[in-house]
Structure formats: structure tokens, C-alpha cells
Structure 1
Amino acid sequence: MATTAERKSAATEKTNLVEMSWDPITRIVGSLGIYTKIDWAQKKVVECHSTSSVFRGYSIFMKGKDPRDAHFITSRICGICGDNHATCSVYNQNMAYGVRPPHLGEWIINLGESAEYMFDHNIFQENLVGVDYCAKMVSETNPGVLELANRTEAPHAAEHGYRTVGDIMRSLNPLEGEFYREALQVSRSTREMFCLMEGRHVHPSTLYPGGVGTVATVQLFTDYLTRLMRYVEFMKRCVPMHDDLFDFFYEALPGYEQVGQRRVLLGCWGSLNDPEYCDFTYRNMEDWGRRMFVTPGVIVDGKLITTSLLDINLGIRILLGSSFYEDWAGKEKFVTHDPLGNPVDDRHPWNQHTIPRPQKRDFDDKYSWTMSPRWFDGTDHLALDTGGGPLARLWTTALAGLVDTGYVKSTGGSVLINLPKTATKPEVTFEWKIPRWSNAIERNRARTYFQAYSAAMALHFCEKALTEVRQGNTRTWEPFEVPEEGVSCGFTEAVRGILSHHMVIKGGKIANYHPYPPTPWNGSVRDSYGTPGPYEDAVQNTPIFEENSQENFKGIDIMRAVRSFDPCLPCGVHMYTGGGKVVEQLHTPHAFGSGV
């Protein structure tokens, strides 16, 4: 800790900072902006603010609606992961209505969600974030790295077919790269897989509370399985190829592990229910949650704090911090205690009121429409992130050691993924090992491994579904009644990470409904304690390895840090450098994490 004299000395030291911003970062919504201050002498980002310029208001217009419409409405929250919202809403409704779908209905939902993970992660990894590592981009930002890549033999060339790392980079070039084009074809077949199970992508037409309306036949699952096996063969090239690419960046740029690195604060709400155990009751939520095929959990500094969905639910807090909303203190409290008698906090989603207050953006006060979800561990409000989704999912599943299907096994320190023999490739086992860091490279690496994980789990689900059909258990839906009063929640993993829906029913209508997808967690703003959100935290202190001058700066290291979280398919960037404005700032030590 610095002495008083050292602090005074540091406070008088002036540093020239350059303001640079990227807004918008995504083409899909165009609402994410990253505003930074960069110390060019130190080649380091010293300050970052993440902004969202779009207000949606789903929690407002859900009030008074028929609860049975919840999944149809909330599916439209997103045009990319709408099925994840629909699924989470259906889980939420199952709890509210006290309905347990037939086993076959749940296997079909799992097959649909697995296909969505495969589809979305593939198109993002190869066609969007992969562009940040392609030869064209690297040649424009780090030509010296590309020269080294052209001379570096790829360790797994025999598995993926590219002799050098430079060849891998060229295969990722947009539109012309071989792997880039192949991935586009793969994404088509995975989308077809989803539609076979749930009728329509990305807003399911056969998904309901109580199960699905899908007509289950041997032919249906055979059609899914033929596409799945082609994807499995693709993954046998994809995993070793990305290992070679990402390992190369560590070797080529010593210190690159610091890009996008932050404290290991990971949240996973679990996904892919096991119908043998899942009854969707709140009283048994802790038990059936641990039976999920992706284990729920909270990881703090590498340690698994809990795997209980009950603890996870009760620990959620919605802080407003620097967001454009009015506090709801003093407003109606919908839920004082959960169904088990546990007290429910005023800042829990069950009790949230959304009161928008648009105003001029001010980085010293309010600057975004994104609130600050936090998880309260009894002492601190933790700014959890999802690691882009896969990093948290694999990390919690690995540590918990609860999953073992034959295709996938969690060992307590890693995850083993077994892929069977395919048309041209032998059986293979991949092992995802818990990394040393939570950073940009490891978020991206985990995304590749989780594609293989999803494929392996889909093989298991196909076997289970076919067994049900062959035994004559073809029922896929269970009837239900909507109660006059109720409180419920649903938990799953959207592609990008943690997703929960929280509902209160009064008079047979929705009295309060709050969905919390991964983007508010990852893209949250500084909370009421001064703690920055994960995007902000990951970019702050990120070193600059780009070889370009300030005038030609593209910000590739910053973009890799942000995109590693998969912020709703980022692909287009507009850059504004403030006309090269230089600001004078007193350099004062601070600790955002402690609220100072």
C-alpha cells in the first residue's frame, strides 16, 4: 500500500491521455459503445466506459399480460438468441404452473438448445470474432506478427490441414478464406438442426410451457443426427486449429495474456436439464439444478463458491449505478419471502421497478441504459461476467465434477469431450483444462471447446430421445392451468452466458416480469459502489500491442478484449478519436474494485 507521501507525489504527476471511442461496436443492434482514455507513453488503456444507447422496456410492457404469452413476447428481446429467452421463459412458466414436461419433450428442447449453441458459437467464432485474428487484420495491425506466423509450423497441422499459423490466419480472411467459407456452410446445417426440433429459428414455433408441439419420430432424430455427425467431423479440425492459433499469440506477443484480463469472477446459471430429475419446482431447484448437463455455479478467484440455483437466485441484486433510471426505493415490494420462506431483497428482480429517466450522457454521473446486475455473496456485490458464455460454463462444470454421460466427463480440473468416429476421421478425445487467466484468448478458446461439448451432449440427447420413441413414449407435452397467484424463476445459459427470467403473477396476470440476459452482466456500468462492469474492467489496464501509430490506430487489442465476451455478434466498428484531443489528468491511484 502506498504511503501518504507517495500518494501526494503520485497525485501531482501529470499524464497525457488520448480519448478514443468505438461506437457502435455491433451491427446487429448498434448500441454498444466503448469510450477509453489511452496513455500512449505507457501503451496502455487507463480508463474505459461501456455505454448502451438503446432502451427496450420489456419489463414495463410485460405487466398485465397473460403469463402464457411470456415466451412468445420475450423471445423478441433478441433476434440472435431469441430461442434462449423463449426456453428460459418456458422454464419460468413451468415452475409457476407446476407442470413437468414429458421426458421426450425435454430431450427435444435440449437438442434445440444444443443446436443453437453450435450455430451461434460457430458463426461468431469463425465469421465475426475470427476476423480479428485473420491475416488481413493482423497484416494491418501487427505485420511483424504475420511474418512470424508465416514462418511458424502449426503443431496440429495433421489434424486441421494448415501447415503454418499464417495459413490458419489466411483461412479466416472474410469471404475468401477457406475456413471462413466452410463455417458459413456449417452454420446453415446447425440452423436446420434447430428448426427440426423447434420449428423456427430464432423464435421457436413449437415451444410451450409443459413441453413442445414437435411430432417426434425416428426420422426426425435421424435427420438431426446426420447433420450433427457432419458437425462433429468439422469440430475435429476446428479445436486443434484454434489451439494452434491462440497458443501462437501467447508466444508471438509476450504479455498478451493481459489483453482483456480481469479477476476471475464467473457466473454460470446452468443449462440443458435432465428430465429424469428436473421437476421445475422451487423447493427442489437446488437438487435438479445440480443435475443439469452444464453445471450452475459462481466462481470467485478460481474457487467454486456454490452450485446451488437457490443461492444463485437469492444472491442476484440489481444496482442502478451510472444508468439512466430512477431508483425504486419505497415502491411496492412484490415478494418479501421466496416459496421456502427465505427473505427476498428489495433489489432482487422479483421486486424491481423499471423507471427510465433519459438524460444527457455524463461519464462522471449517468452514461448508459444498462443497469448493474451484481451477485451478493453476503459481503460484496460481485461484478460477475460470463466469460463470453463458454468460459464460465466449462469452468464451473469442470470444478463441480458432476457431469458424466460417456460423451462428456467433468473431472474436477478439466472437461473431457469424446467425439466418435466420423466419415473420414477417427474417434478423438479433447480435454479443456482450466486456464491460468480469464482473458480474451481464453474466452475465445473456450468458445471452440464448448462447440465440441455441445455436439457431444447432442449425441447423448439423440440417444435418449430415440430410446423414448422406440419404447412408444411419444408424448411431448403436458397440460397445465395458470394459477391466480404465483412467483417463479427460470435459469439457463444463453449463448453468451447467464440468463434468468423472474415472474410474479397476480389475478392470473403478470404483475412483474424481469428477464436478465448476459449483456447487462457483461456490459454493466459502474455500480453504486463505483465498481466497473466487466467490459470496462477488462479493457482498463489492457496493454496496447498494435504496431500502428496513434494516427493510424485501429484499437485491435481493445476490440479483441470486448469481442471476446461475444457482445451480441459484434462485426462492424465505427471509430471516433475525438480529433486527436489530448486531455490533462492528474494521475491518482484508485481501486474501482473496492468502490474507492
Structure 2
Amino acid sequence: MTATAPGQTRVPGEPAKLVDMAWDPITRIVGSLGIYTKIDFDNREVAECHSTSSIFRGYSVFMKGKDPRDAHFITSRICGICGDNHATCSCYAQNMAYGVQPPHLGEWLINLGEAAEYMFDHNIFQENLVAVDYCEKMVGETNPSVLARAEKTAAPRADMHGHRTVADIMRALNPFTGEFYREALQVSRLTREMFCLMEGRHVHPSTLYPGGVGTVATVQLMTDYMTRLMRYIEFMKKVVPMHDDLFDFFYEALPGYERVGLRRTLLGCWGSFQNPEVCNFAYRDMERWGDAMFVTPGVVVDGKLVTHSLVDINLGIRILLGHSFYEDWTDQEMFVTNDPLGNPVDRRHPWNQHTNPQPQKRDMDDKYSWVMSPRWFDGTDHLALDTGGGALARMWSTALAGMVDIGYVKSTGTSVQINLPKTALKGPVELEWKIPVHGSNTLERNRARSYFQAYAAAAALYFCEKALVEIRAGRTKTWERFEVPDEAISCGFTEAVRGVLSHHMVIRNGKIANYHPYPPTPWNASPRDSYGTPGPYEDAVQGLPIFEENDREHFKGIDIMRTVRSFDPCLPCGVHMYLGKGAQLDLLHSPTQSVTGE
């Protein structure tokens, strides 16, 4: 069998032969995400997909009654991967509730911690988890003709990354034995050390608080961070061109591969890296300081930036239930009827959400997941936004807004320019991420992740410079005192590594009355909502053309796995297919008709 696009259209009237295949769990981390598909092998495409989660966390339940000052320590434990993103977002929400503005130096240090987290997590995920799907061993097992072509294809940017052919790149990505795979592991240690310098401990910060940080800021601290940062920047000078060569090759070797993982461009970015010279965390000023973020918030619909206002973003969030294991809260108390600016707040907004778990047997035609269905309401439609794995939405929103210009990074309205300075072994390098002509697909989510690593590193250089100005001027205070009010409503917005992150809090009598964190996973992994709209994983996999050369007997589902992994689903480091050869479904015209097992 050779690598081809999907086969001929089925003859009308002939039954479709769909095969049930499932990957559950997809990840070794918790192991709660499952992907259930129906595959049409005759036409080489995925006919149907359901994304499920088998675990109930309940943070929104047990946060009630807690001291608000504990919120960031508790919510940090939501995730063992990006716990610091939760802690940061919670501190942002607390800053708003308490009316406190951290000293400028404290905010620059927080930015440096978050930049290190982006560098660490994107690096280890991209090089040690995603890249395995494109390594020599995997490509040889799933698309041997593609590997044979890669052996004969010169890498266009070999002078930048040192690999003569595309096959050499693939060999460098082989797990445990590949040269680049091993180097990425070593680099991940440097970035983790960078984070710990700023916030004490990874992944649950020990020096991060509302009002700033407890880190003692010195010139030596910044020197220790910068030496590691420059080593990482040198690494990025070959990472980006190497991935460009690899992903460009897949488009060339497999005509039509741009359709893999392609879905309508519906991207959400909540912004990242506060500008302490503008940000006061007051809700009334949220649009102004949101626009001053060094990653610009925004909602991108069909390639257009429909808003970059954090107020609009906040008010548009809706939590739908649809096919998830919960009872509705339509007859329960509304905590917030109007935001601090007087705008009406919807009952389905996180401020008004109640979590009413309803355990039951999984039924793909009814309720099948513990994940709710967050949507963004544009005034007409409830849009199933995705994060593009985090990086794609951040780059796209920032590029279109054209608001960032700090020397090392600049957004132009159509692209993002990244300037990496001279390092020990390499001269300065200019990179430019351009809005992809192929749209929001699997390869472009992965490509953006490489570019955003460089973006985070370049931004960190700027943050270091700003922090050093404060330190040398003797403005070394990093934390501001605050009082907890009896009553407050607040929200925090940032970007977790894999995308949008918001925390919404209601305080009554000095205690938490309602608290809802929404990380990227519910947005990306949501089931079909109450309007029947599939979640992003489901949408990206459903209708996906299969280019894998293996037949049904030896099918690995590599195109499906590449697509799910492109969203960075916290963390897909292992895949276990449990249905073997699959169960065949004999269908006529529609997947909803009679089903007979093998």
C-alpha cells in the first residue's frame, strides 16, 4: 500500500463498513481521556468521534467555604504539569478581589516564571512526546514510503540545525536514542531551574502569592536566570528551522495532509504576561490592561480577530452541559447579575455556575463525559473555541492585534517577528511566524508551538532587562500588603501552556462562596454540547482523512493520534488501543442506523 489521499466515494446504496476503534486511556497522566471513533477503512477516513473523560475532580465543589488566600495553593494541585499557571491565574483573580497591585519588580519576576514554564513544558512536550509521532521508527511503521522519500530529501535549513536529510531529522527524534530527543531532555532541566529561581518550586510555586512574590530579587538571581536563558535561546535557533523542515516535508510527501486535524478557525486566547506599568487588576480597567499584555488576548473566528477585549471575552463565556454527567442549575441561585461595569451576566457564566455531578453509565448517544462544554457566545452562536494547543491561538491573536512591540518580539498585523540575539556559538537570528495558509490543522498547531518557545524566550529577555532596571534603582520590593474584603467578585485571565485559563471567584462573608477554574482541557476536550456541536477534539478527528499505510489488521491510528496530540492534551505520553482489530459496524447511509457486531 502506498501513501494516498482518501479512497473513492462509496457507491450509493452500498452499506458503509465502519469499524469501532478506541484509544482509552490516551495518556498515562491520570488516564482519563478516551477517544472513541468509527472508521471507514474503505474510504480512508474517520466517520465519527467522541471525546470522553472518566474522572470527576470537583474543585469547584470543595473550594466553597475556603479562605480566599488559600485559593492559589489549592488550585495549583489541579494539575501536576501546569500547576503554576493555575496558581498565577488564581493570584490574578485574588489581586482583583483584594484591590491590590503588586510592585513592578514582583510582576516582572512572575512573568519570568511563566516564561520559563512555557519554555519548559512546550519543549518537553514537543520534543519528547509530539516528536515521537514523526520520528524514524514511527514513520517507518506507519508510512514506510514516506520514510524512504525522507532519506532522499535534503533538509532545506540544514545549515541552521545540522541535519543533512529529513530522515536524519526523524532519526534525531527517536525516543531515548535520538540525538535531539536527548538534548531536549537536558534543556528541559535548565528551564525548570529557571522557573525555580523565580518562584521557588516547580510545579507548585512556593513563593507566589496575591500581591506579588516572596522571591528575593538580586543581580545574582537575574544572572543565574540569564545564563540558562541564553543556552535555551541557542537551542531554539535550531529547533524552529528543524521543525519547519519536518512539517513542510509532510505537506510535500503527502498531498492533502493539510486536511489532517483541520477544523474551522475558532481560536481563543486569554492573554499572558502582564505589563505592570499598565495593569492594576481592576475590573473597570480590564480592557486597557488586557490590551497591554505581552501576549494579546483575543477571539479569532474564520481568521478574523472579532475582539481583543477581556471584558467582552469574560462576558461571552458560557458553560453548557449537553452530553456531560451533570444536572443543570437553572433553578439555583445566581451569584452575579451584573459585572462591576454594570453589564448583565448570564446564568450560564462561570460566576453563576453550580456543579451538580450525576454519575451514570456512559452512553455515546446521551451522556458520555465528565467534561462540561465551555463555549463563547458571540451574540448569535455558541462557538466551540479551541486553543490550537495554546501556541497557535496565542500567535494568531497576537499577530492580528498588532499591539506588541518590545524589540525582541513584534506583532505586525499578519505575523509575529522574533529576534534572538547573538549567543555563545551562534549569531543573531530573526524568525517570523506567519498566519498559516493551511488554517488550523495538526501540523500548524505543532509548528506554532516551536515558534512560541522562541517567543517566550525573547520576551523573557525583555522581562530580565526591566527587572534589572528596578533592582539597580533600589526598587527591590516584590510584594504588596492587602486586606480580604467581606464581599467581592473577581476573575483572573492568563494562558496555561496548552491554552486559555480563567478563574472566577465570588467572596461572601470573607469566604469563597463560588469558585470555577476553566483550563484549556474542558474547552478542547468537551463533548457535544446542548446544541449538538462537537467539541474541538471530536471536530478535528471527525472526517479526518487517513494517510497511514497500514491496513485494518495493523492499524495504529497515527493520524488520529497526531491530531489529538497537536492540542497538547495534558500530557499524551502513552497510547493504549484496547479493541484490537476493532468491531465492525454494518451501516447504511448513516452511522445512526442498525449496528451489528462482529
| TM-score range relative to shorter protein | over 0.9
Aligned to 1:473: 475
Alpha-carbon distance between aligned partners in 2 of 1:536 and 1:509, rounded to the nearest angstrom: 39
SS of alignment partner, residue 16 of structure 1: strand
Q: Does 1:126 align with 2:123?
A: no
Aligned to 1:448: 450
User: Shift of the alpha carbon at 1:549?
Assistant: 1.1
Alpha-carbon distance between aligned partners in 1 of 2:580 and 2:426, rounded to the nearest angstrom: 53
- Cα pair 2:322 2:373 within 8 Å, conserved: yes
SS of alignment partner, residue 554 of structure 1: coil
Alpha-carbon distance between aligned partners in 2 of 1:581 and 1:73, rounded to the nearest angstrom: 43
Aligned to 1:492: 494
Q: Does 1:237 align with 2:255?
A: no
User: Shift of the alpha carbon at 1:582?
Assistant: 1.0
Aligned to 1:146: 147
Task: String of CA shifts for 1:209-261, please: whole Å, max 9, x gaps.
Answer: 00000000000000000000000000001000000000000000000001111
CA-based RMSD of the aligned residues comes to 1.2
Aligned to 2:351: 350
- Cα pair 2:553 2:581 within 8 Å, conserved: no
Alpha-carbon distance between aligned partners in 1 of 2:230 and 2:29, rounded to the nearest angstrom: 30
Alpha-carbon distance between aligned partners in 1 of 2:11 and 2:55, rounded to the nearest angstrom: 39
Alpha-carbon distance between aligned partners in 2 of 1:11 and 1:493, rounded to the nearest angstrom: 47
Aligned to 1:584: 586
Aligned to 1:531: 533
Task: String of CA shifts for 1:291-341, please: whole Å, max 9, x gaps.
Answer: 000000000000000000000000000000100001111001100111111
Aligned pairs for 1:326-365 (under 5 A) are: 326-365=327-366
Alpha-carbon distance between aligned partners in 1 of 2:583 and 2:524, rounded to the nearest angstrom: 29
Aligned to 1:49: 50
- Cα pair 1:19 1:578 within 8 Å, conserved: no
Which residue, 551, 557, 560 being the options, matches 2:559? 557
Letter aligned with residue 485 of structure 1? E
- Cα pair 2:107 2:212 within 8 Å, conserved: yes
User: Shift of the alpha carbon at 1:584?
Assistant: 2.1
* Runs of 5+ consecutive residues of structure 2 not aligned to the other structure: 1-9, 593-598
SS of alignment partner, residue 488 of structure 2: strand
Letter aligned with residue 241 of structure 1? M
Of 22-31 and 443-452, more deviation after overlay is shown by 22-31
Letter aligned with residue 419 of structure 2? N
Aligned to 1:60: 61
* Runs of 5+ consecutive residues of structure 1 not aligned to the other structure: 1-8, 591-596
Q: Residue 285 and residue 153 in structure 1: after superposition, are their counterparts in 2 closer, same or farther (change >3 A)?
A: same
Alpha-carbon distance between aligned partners in 2 of 1:546 and 1:245, rounded to the nearest angstrom: 17
SS of alignment partner, residue 280 of structure 2: coil
Aligned to 2:208: 207
SS of alignment partner, residue 128 of structure 1: helix
Aligned to 1:464: 466
Letter aligned with residue 253 of structure 1? L
- Cα pair 1:539 1:561 within 8 Å, conserved: yes
Aligned to 2:317: 316
Letter aligned with residue 548 of structure 1? N
Alpha-carbon distance between aligned partners in 1 of 2:581 and 2:479, rounded to the nearest angstrom: 60
Aligned to 1:87: 88
SS of alignment partner, residue 284 of structure 2: coil
Aligned to 1:574: 576
Alpha-carbon distance between aligned partners in 2 of 1:289 and 1:12, rounded to the nearest angstrom: 55
The percent of aligned pairs where both chains have the same amino acid is 79
Letter aligned with residue 268 of structure 2? G
Q: Does 1:184 align with 2:224?
A: no
- Cα pair 1:11 1:586 within 8 Å, conserved: no
Alpha-carbon distance between aligned partners in 2 of 1:44 and 1:324, rounded to the nearest angstrom: 29
Task: String of CA shifts for 1:33-90, please: whole Å, max 9, x gaps.
Answer: 0000011110000100000011100000000000000000000000000000000000
Letter aligned with residue 529 of structure 2? D
SS of alignment partner, residue 147 of structure 1: helix
Aligned to 1:411: 412
- Cα pair 2:552 2:581 within 8 Å, conserved: no
Q: Residue 473 and residue 58 in structure 1: after superposition, are their counterparts in 2 closer, same or farther (change >3 A)?
A: same
Aligned to 1:271: 272
Alpha-carbon distance between aligned partners in 2 of 1:122 and 1:24, rounded to the nearest angstrom: 23
Task: String of CA shifts for 1:252-286, please: whole Å, max 9, x gaps.
Answer: 00000011110000000000000000000000000
SS of alignment partner, residue 38 of structure 1: strand
Q: Does 1:35 align with 2:30?
A: no
Aligned to 1:258: 259
User: Shift of the alpha carbon at 1:10?
Assistant: 10
User: Shift of the alpha carbon at 1:14?
Assistant: 2.4
User: Shift of the alpha carbon at 1:569?
Assistant: 1.6
User: Shift of the alpha carbon at 1:588?
Assistant: 4.1
SS of alignment partner, residue 340 of structure 2: coil
Q: Residue 10 and residue 348 in structure 1: after superposition, are their counterparts in 2 closer, same or farther (change >3 A)?
A: farther
Alpha-carbon distance between aligned partners in 2 of 1:544 and 1:100, rounded to the nearest angstrom: 52
Aligned to 2:295: 294
SS of alignment partner, residue 214 of structure 1: coil
Alpha-carbon distance between aligned partners in 2 of 1:185 and 1:261, rounded to the nearest angstrom: 33
Aligned to 1:547: 549
Letter aligned with residue 511 of structure 1? A
Alpha-carbon distance between aligned partners in 1 of 2:68 and 2:245, rounded to the nearest angstrom: 49
Aligned to 1:307: 308
Aligned pairs for 1:507-518 (under 5 A) are: 507-518=509-520
User: Shift of the alpha carbon at 1:471?
Assistant: 0.3
Letter aligned with residue 263 of structure 1? R
Aligned to 2:422: 421
User: Shift of the alpha carbon at 1:113?
Assistant: 0.1
TM-score between the two structures when normalised by the length of structure 1: 0.97
Of 574-583 and 489-498, more deviation after overlay is shown by 574-583
Alpha-carbon distance between aligned partners in 1 of 2:580 and 2:352, rounded to the nearest angstrom: 41
SS of alignment partner, residue 584 of structure 1: strand
Aligned length: 582
SS of alignment partner, residue 493 of structure 2: strand
Q: Residue 16 and residue 98 in structure 1: after superposition, are their counterparts in 2 closer, same or farther (change >3 A)?
A: same
Task: String of CA shifts for 1:343-370, please: whole Å, max 9, x gaps.
Answer: 0000000000000011000000000000
Q: Does 1:372 align with 2:373?
A: yes
Q: Does 1:172 align with 2:173?
A: yes
Q: Residue 288 and residue 152 in structure 1: after superposition, are their counterparts in 2 closer, same or farther (change >3 A)?
A: same
- Cα pair 1:171 1:177 within 8 Å, conserved: yes
Alpha-carbon distance between aligned partners in 2 of 1:411 and 1:299, rounded to the nearest angstrom: 16
User: Shift of the alpha carbon at 1:587?
Assistant: 2.0
User: Shift of the alpha carbon at 1:28?
Assistant: 1.2
Q: Does 1:248 align with 2:288?
A: no
- Cα pair 1:270 1:296 within 8 Å, conserved: yes
Letter aligned with residue 342 of structure 1? N
